[in-house]
Amino acid sequence: MNEYRNAVIAFAAACPVIAQAQTTQELKAELDALKAHVRKLEALIDKAGQSKPDDSAELARLRVKTDAADDAAEASGLKGLKISGYIDPSYIRNRNAGTSSFVFLNNNSSINGSGESFGYDNTTFGSGMFNLDKELEGGTRLRISLMPSKGIASGYNFGNLVHEASASIPLGDQSTRLLLGQIPDWSGYEYIPSTQNKLLTHNLLFDFSAANFYTGAGLQLVRGKWDSKIMIGNMNRARVDDGGERTPGVFYRVDYARGEFSGFGLSGTHAGFDDDSAVGRVDLMEVDGFYTRGDWNIQGQLSYGGQQATAANLYGAARQRWYGLSSLVSYKIMPRLEAIARLDYIFNGTGGGGVFGATLAPGCKDLAGFAANCPDGRNGFGSGMVLRGGQWLVIDPTRGANRGTLSVGTQYLLVPGVSVKGEYRYDYATARVFKTFDGQYRRDNHVIGVSTVVSF
C-alpha cells in the first residue's frame, strides 16, 4: 500500500509540471511517465485483490495454531505458570573467626552434626533458589520455592529443601484471600532472596529479632491502599509435638502504600503462650517504611522484642527485652552502579543480653565464681567478658552488651540478570562479647564479602 500511496503522490506532483511544459516533446515525456505510474498502480491493486483470500486463510491458520497451543499449555499445566530463580556464589572473610572462604550452598545450622551454625556471616547468601508460581482458574495462587541448605526451614527441619509452600485462595473476590501453608516471615524491610537485597548480609533486626517462618492459615485483606495479613499457626515449626504446647502463635502485618515511591508497614509475632520451659513467650513487633526519590532510596525499621529465658538463654526466668533500629540509604551513581550504606543498633542491656536469634550457652563463670552463660561469641550478644588471672569471666550475668553494625557496599549490574555486590561490615558492642578463633574476646569484628547474583 506504500507503493499505492507513492503513485498517487507522483500523479499529484506531475499535474503542475504538465501545465508548465513548454514543448510537445516535454509534454509527451511527462505523459509517458504518468502512464507508467498508472500501470504500476493498477498492477498493485490487482495484486492486493488477489491476495485477500490468501491473507484470510493464513489468518485463520494462525488462529487455529494459537488455540491449539493454548489448549496444550492448559492440558500440560503450563498455563499461568511462572518459573524463576537465582544463584549467588559468595566470598566472605571474617577477621575474628580467622576464615577466608567462598560460600555456596553450605548449611547454616548445627543440627544433625553439620558442623556449621547460624551467624550474620552465614545466613541466606551463598544460596540457590528455584521458584514455581502458578495461578489457577478462578484466581487461586500457588507458590513453591526450593532453597537447598539455606531455606527458612532448613535450620529447624534438617534436610528440608522447601523454602516456601503457600496458597492464596480468593474468598468471594480477589481482595479477600485465604492463606495456607509455610510462609516466610514478613517483618522488616529486608528479604531473604539475594535478588531483593542490596547488600550481602542482613541487618541485625532481620537476623536476630524476627521469626523465620509461619506454618498455618490466615486471611489477607486488600482495601484500597491498605494490605493486611493475619495468620494463626506454628512459629518456626512444621509441627508442634511437645506435650503442653497447644496454643498456636499469632502473626500479622499491615502495609499502607502512599504511592509508588513511599509507604510504611507494621508487623507482629506473638507465640509460645503454653510453653515456658522450651521456647518461652515471644513477642516481636516492628514498624518499617521506605521512600524513593530519583536516584535516592531510604528504608528504615524500628523494633521491639521480648522473651522468657529459653533453653539457649538460661539466665534464670528473667524476661529479656530489647529495642532496635535499622536504616539503609542507597544512591545510584550511574544507572548500573549503586552505593549503599546501612546502620543498625540494638539496645540490649537487660536479661543477660540474649535476643531472639542469639545463642547463649552455659560453660562460663562470673567474677564470684558462679556458673554463668557464655556470650554468643560469633554474633556478639550476651554479657561482657573480662580477663582475670588468665581466665575470661562474665562481668555481670544480668547485664547485656548493646550491639551496632555499620555496612557499606556497592551493587553493579554487569549485564541483564547478573549483579555483582561488594560489602564491608563493621560490627561492634559495648563490651567484649565477640570471640576470636584463638579463644580471646573483643569488642568488634570486621567482615568483607563479594557476591555475584545470577537470576532469571
- pLDDT tens, residue by residue, 310-364: 544 554 446 789 999 999 999 999 999 999 999 999 999 887 888 988 888 889 9
Looking at per-residue confidence, does 237 or 414 come out higher?
414
If asked whether residues 136 and 24 sit together in one domain, one would say no
Per the DSSP assignment, residues forming a β-bridge with 176 are 221
If asked whether residues 207 and 286 sit together in one domain, one would say yes
Burial class (CB in 10 A: 0-12, 13-18, 19+), 397: buried
- pLDDT tens, residue by residue, 159-185: 789 999 999 999 989 999 999 999 999
Contact 382, 397 (CB under 8 A): no
- Residue of 320, 321, 327, 318 lying closest to 304 (CA atoms): 321
> Given this model, what pLDDT does residue 241 score?
79
How high is the mean pLDDT of the chain? 87
Write the single-letter amino acid at 4. Y
What pLDDT band is residue 155 in, cutting at 50, 70 and 90? confident
If asked whether residues 52 and 172 sit together in one domain, one would say no
Which H or E run includes 18? helix 2-20
Looking at per-residue confidence, does 41 or 153 come out higher?
153
Sign of CA dihedral 59, 61, 64, 65: negative
Name the domain boundary from 25, 41, 72: 72
> Given this model, what pLDDT does residue 77 score?
77
Q: What is the CATH number of the domain that holds 373?
A: 2.40.160.10
Name the domain boundary from 46, 72, 98: 72
DSSP letter, residue 122: B
| Domain that includes residue 139, residue range | 80-455
If asked whether residues 348 and 307 sit together in one domain, one would say yes
Write the single-letter amino acid at 222. V
Looking at per-residue confidence, does 281 or 292 come out higher?
292
> Given this model, what pLDDT does residue 12 score?
44
If asked whether residues 66 and 85 sit together in one domain, one would say no
If asked whether residues 65 and 123 sit together in one domain, one would say no
> Given this model, what pLDDT does residue 279 score?
54
437 Rama class: left (phi>0) / alpha (psi -120 to 50) / beta = alpha
Buried residues in 213-233 as b, exposed as e (16+ CB within 10 A): bbbbebebeeeeeebebebeb
Count of CB atoms situated within 10 Å of the CB of 422: 17
> Given this model, what pLDDT does residue 107 score?
87
Name the grid cell of 228: 493486611
- pLDDT tens, residue by residue, 220-248: 999 999 999 999 999 998 988 776 667 78
> Given this model, what pLDDT does residue 109 score?
76
- pLDDT tens, residue by residue, 387-409: 999 999 999 998 999 999 999 99
Looking at per-residue confidence, does 46 or 383 come out higher?
383
Q: What average pLDDT does this structure show over 95-113?
A: 87
> Given this model, what pLDDT does residue 360 score?
87
- pLDDT tens, residue by residue, 205-218: 999 999 999 999 99
Residue 25 confidence (pLDDT) above 90: no
Per the DSSP assignment, residues forming a β-bridge with 255 are 227, 265
pTM for the predicted model, two decimal places: 0.82
- Residue of 354, 419, 335 lying closest to 87 (CA atoms): 419
> Given this model, what pLDDT does residue 16 score?
45
Residue 50 confidence (pLDDT) above 70: no
Write the single-letter amino acid at 411. Q
What CA–CA distance (Å, rounded) separates 397 from 327? 30
If asked whether residues 11 and 93 sit together in one domain, one would say no
Cα 189 from chain centroid?
Answer: 9
> Given this model, what pLDDT does residue 41 score?
64
> Given this model, what pLDDT does residue 352 score?
83
If asked whether residues 416 and 335 sit together in one domain, one would say yes
Contact 96, 436 (CB under 8 A): yes
Cell numbers 511517465: residue? 33
If asked whether residues 331 and 439 sit together in one domain, one would say yes
- pLDDT tens, residue by residue, 65-74: 777 776 776 7
Name the grid cell of 195: 535478588
If asked whether residues 50 and 179 sit together in one domain, one would say no
What CA–CA distance (Å, rounded) separates 292 from 297? 4
If asked whether residues 53 and 94 sit together in one domain, one would say no
Name the domain boundary from 72, 104, 123: 72
Contact 87, 419 (CB under 8 A): no
Number of domains the chain contains = 2
If asked whether residues 173 and 316 sit together in one domain, one would say yes
Contact 217, 231 (CB under 8 A): yes
